[in-house]
Amino acid sequence: MPEITTESTPIHTMDAGTLAAAIRDRQVTAVQAVTAYVERIERYNHLLGAIVSPGPARLRSEALARAAAADEAQTRGEVLGPLHGVPFTVKDTLAVAGYPATAGSMVLKDYIPEATATVIARILAAGATFLGKANCSEFAVDTHAGNLLFGDSRNPLDTTRTPGGSSGGDAVAVAAGLSAFGIGTDFGGSVRWPAHCTGTLSMRPTIGLLPGTGILPYDTTAPIAPPNSASVLHRYMTAGPITRSVDDLELLVRIMAGPDGLDAQTAPVTVPPSTSIDISTLSVAWCAGEGTVPIRSDVVTALAAAAGRLTPSVASVREQRPPRLNEAAGLFLELRDAEGLPEVAMAIQKAQAEQSDIAVTPGILAYLASVEATLTNQSASDALTHLLDATARRDAVYTAVCTFLNDHPILLLPVASVTAPLIGTTSEQIDDAVVPWSQLGSSCRAISILALPSAVIPIGHGENGMPIGIQVIGRRFHDHEVLAVARELERLS
């Protein structure tokens, strides 16, 4: 069957804003748009492992019913939202009422929330059409989107390679034309690394801009509760979009932003239009990583070239690493391990008490056991002292980096040390160093613990032909500056 097109452009290649405009202008109907995506899902999803629920028959019938309702609303002359009729996917750690939210774990395989995460409710209210839940690593703690419950997601550009994780299923769906956009989550790089691996775009907004209500793990025995503001995981995790364009990143972040009356960490801040920024007034710095993990030469070359292309457009471009940035990734791990992901541990313990042989990814169990052993050998006083000390050092690094950003409001960093690795490998050779997968995204972790906004934009390809993305980083709550510079890089790439 030929692809459904509008003005000779296949629907599955259009960005969300363009597709929404085509639907509003009656160039294509919402039913045609959803049909185009559903047919591709039925053709390719079994090869790629992007969308894990609902099953194909339910996905088709319910998505097309929603699309038909969208077309009927348009016929009645109702006011259409900015995403009217646009199909999208949701990471399986985000609650959508009436659909499984498993976090890729056998522990939660039967959990169906009764409420919807705030950011997803806002996307739906903007008129988007929900397709299904996208695959992720178990409890979103690994760098590859694969798990014991659903298996591996595969990179559509080379199915022997990872699409990244943990929000890899959404990145696969967008890259393969199975979804117009995806909504994932990011703690240590979980929307940024998959975008880098698949040649898509993503954004981790400023922490506190988007409410985190409805992002697993949370207490599944009660209605969806607000994120625990004392938790390192919930304090530095956020939802974020994966898209085909910077325009879509901005559209989606602006739709999702703002307090919901539940998440106490969400600030009453709006995102000004990025078009209000004159990037010729912005100074840009770049550096080849956060300073502790080597970066492969092809990635550095692509980053340097992208920075150079910006030179005529901005006030200045300088190769310089912010002071103390080399301490940030280590502090991410130190603060994470000081708590040991207790929300994940409690969910597993509860499930194992009910079913002792329930399968859990061995790496998760090994990590939780190592943290428990460390904490068991500490007094409560010593553990608290260590946590407070690490937090104080994090705050000092934050101050040093933010002082640097006052003079250089935009920082360009790699997303990772290499392009998408082969599935089944555990490390990468970079010059004379063997770098474990767990360290490849250290530049993402450094930005995570500083709570700064970061957009990922593809800027070229590596020596093996796989995409290279870079992080465009800015000051807290200056997401519009990040988007403005990302758009210029998109134009120049």
Catalytic residues: 91, 166, 190
What residue type is assigned to position 329 of the chain? A
Phi-psi region of 8 (alpha: psi -120 to 50; beta: other; left: phi over 0): left
Q: What are phi and psi of 233, to 5 degrees?
A: -55, -55
Q: Which two three-digit tokens encode residue 435?
A: 């770098």
What is the C-alpha separation between 47 and 45, in angstroms, rounded? Answer: 5
Report which of 452, 459, 455 is spatially closest to residue 485, judged by C-alpha positions.
455
Q: Which two three-digit tokens encode residue 84?
A: 């009217």
Q: How far is CA 106 from CA 101, 102, 351, in A?
A: 11, 7, 9
Q: What angle do CA 439, 342, 214 make, to 5 degrees?
A: 90
What is the C-alpha separation between 232 and 117, in angstroms, rounded? Answer: 20
What is the C-alpha separation between 40 and 45, in angstroms, rounded? Answer: 8
Ranges of beta strands (E only) in 365-484 are 410-414, 427-430, 433-436, 454-461, 467-473
Three-state DSSP class for 351? helix
> Kind of pairing, strands 410-414 and 283-286?
parallel
DSSP-derived secondary structure letter, 217: S
What is the C-alpha separation between 391 and 378, in angstroms, rounded? Answer: 18
What is the C-alpha separation between 365 and 142, in angstroms, rounded? Answer: 13
Helix axes 16-24, 56-75, angle to 10 degrees: 50
Q: What are phi and psi of 146, to 5 degrees?
A: -150, 150
What is the C-alpha separation between 358 and 355, in angstroms, rounded? Answer: 6
Give the list of residues 6+ apart from residue 423 with CB closer than 8 angstroms, or none: 144, 146, 152, 154, 160, 161, 162
Report which of 436, 434, 435, 454 is spatially closest to residue 444, judged by C-alpha positions.
454
Q: What are phi and psi of 267, to 5 degrees?
A: -90, 145
CB atoms within 10 A of CB 138: 28
Q: Which two three-digit tokens encode residue 489?
A: 């890089």
Helix axes 328-339, 380-407, angle to 10 degrees: 150
What is the C-alpha separation between 441 and 290, in angstroms, rounded? Answer: 10
- Burial-class residue 224 by CB neighbours within 10 Å (0-12, 13-18, 19+): buried
